[in-house]
Amino acid sequence: MDEKDESKTVLYQCLDALFTRPKETILKPKKSLGDRYYQFQVSDQFVSKKYQKYGSAFLEHCNKPIDNGVIIKIDDCENVPDLRFADDIKLEELFSIYIPLHRKIANKLLKIFMECPTIKELISLIVYCHERVNVYLFNWVLCITVVNHPHTTDYALPVVPEIFPEKFFDGKVYQQAVQSLELIPIEDRTPIEIELNFTATLFEPEQRCAYFREDIGLSFYYLIYNFAFPFSGTDEIVKKYRRGEIFYHVHQQILARYNFERLCNGMHRTARLSNFDKPIEEAYFPKLNRAVGSQNYPARFQNTPLDDLSREKDKLVVDRSALSRWRDRILEACDRGFLINSHNKTVDMNDDTGIDALGNMIQSSSLSPNLDYYGDLANMGHNFIGYCHDPDGRNLEGFGVISDPATALRDPAFYRWYALIVDICNHHKRYLPAYTRSELSFPGIKITDVETFILTKQGSPVKNELLTYWEKDDVNISKGLDFSPTDPVFVRITHLQHQKFSYKILVENSGSQTEASVRIFLAPKRDENDLQFPFDDQREFFIEMDYFNVTLRPGSNTIVRRSSDSSILDWLKCSVSNKFRQQQSDKPNNYTGLGWPLNLLIPKGRPSGYECDLFVIVGKDLIKPYGSERSLGFPFDRPAPTRIHYLSDFLCENMFVQKVNLFFLDQVLDKTEGTAQPFPN
């Protein structure tokens, strides 16, 4: 093994240790696989002020080798960083990338990590910083570094819910898990079960969709998306191809899926949060505890108003009127068809790249054409909602769940806020020309039939009916239980799941052999009033199910595609080379961290069935690692000509619509006992 490979091995061991019980000091051995322990051996340079008072004997005791220990010897930092800039985030506080002060501090720390010239120096720096800065700040920056640094692109990251369980599970779990580790022998230990509706009863209407909002895989996916496409940081991390358009598309699809679920549950689509003078109608009580600072995430009561922010400690002093001002300036740019950049020059927006500039502008990324003028709309919305319970800090309350990307999607207000953000982007899209027949069609290609099917052992395949149900699953959270015994401890959750299925697409090619793309979408057929959706309404409900390339031979072609192979389940692999450690199981993992969670691929449906339109288009453009030459969401991202009233009016020969029913089986299948499918296949 050469010196570079040896350094990389040490780096990965170091990361394994730091991601195990991340709130513990490096001076305490960290349990790895089996009975092995990682043990840092460091000089007094790495000992923080908290432990310096115990003297050299304390360090000698910590450095003394233990049984089954894997020694990680850390060299002293050649250039010790001055970390006083991070002192404004106290060690016992939570960190939020949406707060400008926190963002500024995170960028400085990220720059230190990303500019490390050697692997050895990177190892020394991250270990040194771990002991001296806020643990949530450190782990946010460390995760972005691991995802984006050239030295760590093949490192297998941990599944975040397992190392920070307090952000994903009922707050009572933490105490119960520690008690279980302390008191119950491992052979008698049973998983700690979390009820499906642990944040509210069904008397609260919004609770009908809590299974979606509070899904662990969904929150994990959104967090990794933020690691892969951060809006703030060094140039090489932020300047990614089409990042502004990806911001729009990710949130448009999350919102479309959420509204789809609402319709399945007999609810109206979520209302835009556009009137900042009107109180937020939806209450939310997250029931999550903070492991640092011993506080709960604050609740928001019904009809809580938004107010001016005057949080002096966080240097967050912003008038509520700023939201209206920024929104109106962005809408003005959409209406005029051009934006004004920081050099006071106009930049055309009415082309295929306009949505990319608009996304960066709304999110206030470092690629925004004019940060001072167009402001910080999307991020500051998280702050105004997240602090609405204590806008001036008089009660010493921290921010709500919406101010942390790991927990934001749990809050119903998140979807109301992004209904506004997505609507602004759609407002821009309405000024773009509708797709022409030549852009939509594929001469010589005709889809003759489409169906979905579920194979069963009981008889014939179930066609054009998709089945959902509840499933129980276990998650090991022992890596996140600091300063407690290191044995495994499991939490048992209940989440939505669906029966595995496949697509069968029949295509006629009257020309020569050609390469083509296939896009599959799904949308409700009827609106809240049980009326057929007009096309311009329905297109905003279409959710991506899959996209892939095929080779079409002359004549008849049969394309069969399994639902579990869907490209949306790992689309982030175009930007994230890392994999994620998963529990050893012969069952498919519901979340890989690299895309939409598998268990939420199909909306819930209804016990009596929920009628949907399955739309398939075969296109002449090919899917590439970063999408295609088409706009994300094509062909539904733009309004159609006025002559198009319903989906049937929109179709060309290379398109097909199949009626599909979503059936919800209101029963719980226990994956932990091996009964993971209602129809074994």
Cis peptide before 81 (omega within 30 of 0): no
Domain contains 190: no
Q: How confident is the model at residue 93 (pLDDT cuts 50, 70, 90)?
A: confident
116 and 265 belong to one structural domain: no
Residues, the chain, total? 681
Q: What is the pLDDT of residues 568-611, one digit of tens each?
A: 998 887 777 776 665 544 444 555 678 999 999 999 999 999 99
Q: How far apart are CA 401 and CA 297, in angstroms?
A: 6
Residue 480: per-residue pLDDT: 77
Q: Which residue has the higher pLDDT, 384 or 43?
A: 384
E strand or H helix that includes residue 659: strand 655-670
User: Domain ends where: 129, 155, 181?
Assistant: 155
Note whether 480 and 679 are within 8 A (CB).
no
In this prediction, residues 388-406 reach a mean pLDDT of: 94
CATH of the domain at 518: 2.60.40.1520
Average pLDDT, rounded, for the chain: 90
Give 312-336 as a DSSP string. Answer: GGGTEEE-THHHHHHHHHHHHHHHH
pLDDT for 485 equals 64
Helix H, strand E, coil C: the string for 447-514 is: EEEEEEEECCCCCCCEECEEEEEEEEEEEECHHHCCCCCCCCCEEEEEEEEECCCEEEEEEEECCCCE
pLDDT score for 438: 95
271: pLDDT confidence band, cut at 50, 70 and 90? very high
Judged by average pLDDT, the poorest of 183-192, 256-265, 353-362 is 183-192
Number of domains in the chain: 3
CB 9 within 8 A of CB 123: no
C-beta pairs of 416-420 under 8 Å, 24+ apart in sequence:
416/270, 416/271, 416/272, 416/273, 416/280, 416/282, 417/273, 417/381, 417/382, 417/385, 418/251, 418/254, 418/255, 419/255, 419/270, 419/271, 419/272, 419/273, 420/272, 420/273, 420/274, 420/327, 420/381
Sorted by sequence, the CB contacts under 8 Å of residue 197 that are 6+ apart come out as 207, 210
Domain end point (choices 430, 445, 472): 430
Task: Give the DSSP H/E element, type plus range, for residue 84.
Answer: none
Question: What would the mean pLDDT of 372-396 be, rounded to a whole number?
Answer: 96
Given this model, what pLDDT does residue 209 score? 96
How far is C-alpha 330 from the geometric centre of its chain's CA atoms?
25
pLDDT for the residue numbered 618? 98
How do 338-340 and 346-348 pair as beta strands?
antiparallel
Question: Would you say residue 448 has pLDDT above 80?
Answer: yes
pLDDT the model gives residue 34: 59
- Assess whether 387 and 442 both reside in one domain: no
| Dihedral pair phi/psi, residue 57, rounded to 5° | -65, -35
Same domain, 410 and 469: no
The strand ranges marked E within 129-207 are 192-193
For residues 313 and 400, membership in a common domain is answered with yes
- CB neighbourhood size of 283 (10 A): 16
C-alpha–C-alpha distance, residues 337 and 428, integer Å: 8
Please indicate, yes or no, if residue 188 is contained in any of the structural domains.
no
Q: At residue 597, what is the residue type?
A: P
pLDDT of residue 469 exceeding 80, the answer is: yes
Is 446 in the same domain as 426? no
- C-alpha 485/C-alpha 490 separation (Å) is 14
pLDDT class for 626, splitting at 50, 70, 90?
A: low
Point out which residues pair with 664 in neighbouring strands.
468
Task: Report whether pLDDT(330) > 70.
Answer: yes
Distance (Å, whole) CA 426 – CA 331? 11
Q: Contact, 489 vs 479, CB < 8 A?
A: no
Answer whether residue 527 is part of any domain: yes
pLDDT at 680 over 60: no
Last residue of a domain, one of 391, 409, 430: 430
Same domain for 530 and 420 = no
pLDDT band of residue 22 (cuts 50, 70, 90) is: confident
pLDDT value, residue 267 = 96
Q: Please tell me the predicted confidence (pLDDT) of residue 291.
A: 60
263 and 243 assigned to the same domain: yes
Starting at the edge strand found earlier in the chain, the sheet holding 514-524 runs: 192-193, 490-498, 465-476, 655-670, 610-619, 514-524, 543-552
Q: Decide if pLDDT at 52 tops 90.
A: no
pLDDT band at 59 (very low <50, low <70, confident <90, very high): confident
Q: Are residues 252 and 354 in the same domain?
A: yes
CATH code (residue 343): 1.10.1280.10
- Residue 195, in any domain of the structure: no
pLDDT at site 650: 97
Q: What does the alpha-carbon distance between residue 116 and residue 94 come to, in Å, rounded to a whole number?
A: 27
Residues 484-495, mean pLDDT to the nearest whole number: 81
Say whether pLDDT at 55 is over 80.
no
Residue 384 has pLDDT above 60, yes or no: yes
Low-confidence winner among 56-70, 114-128, 237-251 (lowest mean pLDDT): 56-70
d(CA 388, CA 409): 17
pLDDT of 296 reads 80
Q: Which of 24-33, 151-160, 658-667 has the highest mean pLDDT?
A: 658-667
pLDDT, position 584:
46
Count of other CB atoms within 10 angstroms of residue 447: 24
Residue 354 has pLDDT above 60, yes or no: yes
Do the domain assignments include residue 453?
A: yes
- CATH number where 134 lies: 1.20.1370.10
Instruction: Please choose, from the candidates 185, 193, 77, the residue with its C-alpha nearest in 3D space to the C-alpha of residue 131.
Output: 77
Q: Report yes or no on 171 lying in a domain.
A: no
195-213 pLDDT tens trace:
888 888 888 999 999 999 9
CB neighbourhood size of 649 (10 A) = 11
191 within domain boundaries: no
CA 622 to chain CA centroid, nearest Å: 26
- Statement to judge: residues 492 and 542 lie in one domain: yes
Q: Which residues, other chains included, contact 318 with Cβ-Cβ below 8 Å and sequence gap of 6+?
A: 308, 309, 380, 383, 384
pLDDT exceeds cutoff 70 at 518:
yes
Q: Which of 577 and 234 is assigned the larger pLDDT?
A: 234
Contact 230, 238 (CB under 8 A): yes
**pLDDT computed for residue 677 by the predictor:** 59
Q: Which domain holds residue 108?
A: 3-155
User: Alpha-carbon distance 458 to 347, whole Å?
Assistant: 62
Pair 331, 442 in one domain = no
| Three-class secondary structure of residue 524 per DSSP | strand
The pLDDT value recorded for residue 574 is: 73
My answer on whether 584 and 638 are in the same domain is yes
pLDDT for position 586: 40
Q: Model-level pTM?
A: 0.94
Q: What percent of the chain is predicted at pLDDT more than 90?
A: 65
Averaged pLDDT for residues 350-355: 92
- Report how far residue 170's alpha carbon sits from residue 263's, in angstroms, rounded to the nearest whole number: 27
pLDDT at 483: 57
Give the pLDDT of residue 587: 44
The phi-psi region of residue 532 (left if phi > 0; otherwise alpha if psi is between -120 and 50; otherwise beta) is beta
385 plus 519 within the same structural domain: no
82 belongs to a structural domain: yes
